[in-house]
Amino acid sequence: MLYSLSDGPYIVTHLVHTGETEAEKAVAALPGPLAIIDSRGASIDTAVLDHLVWRSAISGRKTARIKPGDAVEALFSGARLRDKLRLVQGRGGWR
């Protein structure tokens, strides 16, 4: 689930694996933009997440896919800079 503490609308285009070190930071483009209209958030199908191509935020090279529990944030437009959207694992997959 992608969620925010405030209402949107937000348009999410990429996910960012924040990692614990600079070397672990990676970015993946969603296959299409995702609209989040209000603070209830939105879901991304597990099959979509399984097929994302993750690239190093430093080198641009392909990296390993994210694992359950990895810290992931969303890149989006339409929100103030201090707002953050988070991706969390729920029952049945990532949400």
pLDDT by residue (tens digit) across 67-79? 777 878 887 766 4
Torsion of CA 90, 25, 86, 6, to 10 degrees: 180
Question: How far apart, in whole angstroms, are the C-alpha atoms of residue 32 and residue 67?
Answer: 22
Under the banding of pLDDT at 50, 70 and 90, the label for residue 54 is: very high
For residue 90, is pLDDT > 60?
no
The contacts of residue 70 (CB under 8 Å, 6+ apart) are: 17, 19
Question: How far apart, in whole angstroms, are the C-alpha atoms of residue 76 and residue 29?
Answer: 11
pLDDT computed for residue 81 by the predictor:
41
pLDDT computed for residue 40 by the predictor:
73
Q: Which of 14, 32, 25 lies closest to 61 in space, CA to CA?
A: 25
For residue 13, is pLDDT > 60?
yes
For residue 28, is pLDDT > 90?
yes
